[in-house]
Structure 1
Amino acid sequence: MPDMPTVSLNKAAPPPLPPTYQDPQLLPEPRRCDTGAGIVWIRKAFDMFKQNIGIWLGITVAMFAIMMVLTIVPLFGILSGLVVILFIGSFMQAAAIQERGERLKFEYLFSAFSTHLKPLLILTLLYMVSIAVFFILTFWGMHLLSVSNFLEARVALDSVGVSSSKQWIVMLYMLIAVLPMILLSMAFWFAPALIVLHDMAAMTAVKKSLQACLKNWLAFLIFGVVGGLLSIVLMVFTLGFGFLLVMPMMLLVYYTSYRDIWTDQPLSIDA
């Protein structure tokens, strides 16, 4: 009788199937991140960038090339300002697609144009109106200070023991001009991501963005200092070509900071 084949009863169990990916869910309130979170955002942005260096470089170069063409062509200059936020929205969608494990494609540069055109245009108009109001109020305020309150400002500085030199007066004026611009940037930092990834209304996204940035102002300060220094070093040692590396990474920080502050799947959880 031929030997019967033996069957082992001790086979190793098959490896578990990978968990099904779920898109990050929006938190009801923004998370307060650690002070060093800004550094983690940069590192995570670099990790995302190096996964698809060619595509991210192509998307970034094409975006800036389109904006430059619109800027120099007569009658189309205003469109360069209109498309910036649309491109940022597309960039956020592309980043989310890569994190989902799908193939990143160059055409994602225009994805938000078809999915969230209306709310992003409303956001763009809000931004342009805010910029106009900011400049009007700033120039008006600076004029009032320089004409009627210059001496009062010097007296106030003298009263607290601060030298009333022109340098201090200039610093006071710069603070008045810069602070509103910082608040304006905060109000629009997360807005594109909240619109394209969570279908949030433009005005609501602006309010939520300002709330989140104010709650994490120290992390953003660290990010600004470290990111600025890294950008300068790269630009100097690459004779300006570091711009090609800096810009996609800085744009990806929009996404990595959004994931940390606004979702239940922060990228820095394993940092």
Structure 2
Amino acid sequence: MQALTLNAAHGWRWLAEGFRIFRKNHLMLTFLVVSYWMLMAIVNVIPVIGTIATTLCIPAFSVSLMNACRNIDKGGPLGPQTLFSGFQKNPRALITLGAIYLAATVGILAISSLADGGALMQLMLAGRTPDAEVLASGDVMLALQVALILLCPLIMAYWYAPILAAWHGLSPAKALFFSFIACARNWRAFLVYSLALLVAATLLPGLLLGTLAALLPDGAALLTVVLTVLLVLILAPTVFASFYVSYRDVFVTATESDA
């Protein structure tokens, strides 16, 4: 399998095309995304076991959402059962990817603990808030920066890995390898994509909410809550759909051969 190298402009196209897919079946795609969030939240309530279980299942559920986006794009069937469709193909590889991701994340947090004595690690894994003295020292921020730097190559390896494992039957090692190479080759497009997400998720909503708050000061609080919920329900499915679009563009030859 060979990943295509795209120009930087594709980064914006991914988000725009993701919104187009969202508009084609916004109700069902939003339902699937919200259902996924709720299911993860419910399982995460279980101490330790919940976190492990959700992390192991994230790759399969991500494939489920990509199945939904592909079905919308190609006019295929779509229903509530699609939320669990990601467990039907190569589930062992997907669970393995989840286990590798969990182990790698714990390892990265362990390395970051050298900067703050494990405060960030305890916050992320156990939900334990660091002491005020630790927060004031800046050690947690340093640990966070270390973790983000180390997480970058991990995210690159996982960006396409679940899809490659489920849709193309690749082993976890090959899926991680091809995903990393695809992201590295298209770093310009991903840079533009990141900037587009920043504008769509923070700058434009902030400007809109600020303007409405200035025009309607009496109902600003309630209006802000309502608009924030609506923006999340639009933006989140759009972002998931943009993940699919990026795969479709980068691995276009492979996708066409599967069709």
TM-score (norm 2): 0.75
Distance in 2 between residues matched to 1:117 and 1:239, nearest whole Å: 36
**Is the counterpart of residue 112 in structure 1 residue 94 in structure 2?**
no
Give the corresponding residue for 1:206. 176
Considering fraction of residues, name the structure with more helix.
2
Give the corresponding residue for 1:134. 108
Cα distance change on mapping 1:143 and 1:63 into 2, 3 Å: closer
**Is the counterpart of residue 250 in structure 1 residue 239 in structure 2?**
yes
Cα distance change on mapping 1:170 and 1:137 into 2, 3 Å: closer
Cα distance change on mapping 1:41 and 1:176 into 2, 3 Å: same
Output aligned runs, 1:1-271, within 5 Å. 28-74=1-47, 75-140=49-114, 142=115, 176-232=146-202, 233-234=204-205, 237=209, 238-264=227-253
Q: Which structure has the greater CA radius of gyration? A: 1
Cα distance change on mapping 1:97 and 1:170 into 2, 3 Å: closer
Distance in 2 between residues matched to 1:258 and 1:57, nearest whole Å: 20
- Kindly state the Cα deviation for residue 265 of structure 1 after the two structures are TM-superposed: 7.7
CA displacement, residues 92-112 of structure 1 (integer Å, 9 cap, x when unaligned):
222222333222222111001
Given residue 96 of structure 2, which amino acid in structure 1 is its aligned partner? I
Give the corresponding residue for 1:6. none
Cα distance change on mapping 1:170 and 1:58 into 2, 3 Å: closer
- Kindly state the Cα deviation for residue 143 of structure 1 after the two structures are TM-superposed: 6.6
Gaps of 5+ in 1: 1-27, 145-165
Given residue 185 of structure 1, which amino acid in structure 2 is its aligned partner? I
SS of residue matched to 1:239: helix
SS of residue matched to 2:88: helix
Cα distance change on mapping 1:265 and 1:38 into 2, 3 Å: farther
CA displacement, residues 5-32 of structure 1 (integer Å, 9 cap, x when unaligned):
xxxxxxxxxxxxxxxxxxxxxxx32111
Cα distance change on mapping 1:131 and 1:37 into 2, 3 Å: same
47-56 or 221-230, which deviates more: 221-230
Given residue 38 of structure 1, which amino acid in structure 2 is its aligned partner? G
Distance in 1 between residues matched to 2:155 and 2:51, nearest whole Å: 22
Give the corresponding residue for 1:163. none
Identity %, equivalent residues: 24
Distance in 1 between residues matched to 2:43 and 2:141, nearest whole Å: 36
CA displacement, residues 96-135 of structure 1 (integer Å, 9 cap, x when unaligned):
2233322222211100122232111011011111111111
Distance in 1 between residues matched to 2:232 and 2:171, nearest whole Å: 33
CA-based RMSD of the aligned residues comes to 2.7
Distance in 2 between residues matched to 1:175 and 1:251, nearest whole Å: 26
Answer whether contact 1:195 1:205 (CA < 8 A) is retained.
yes
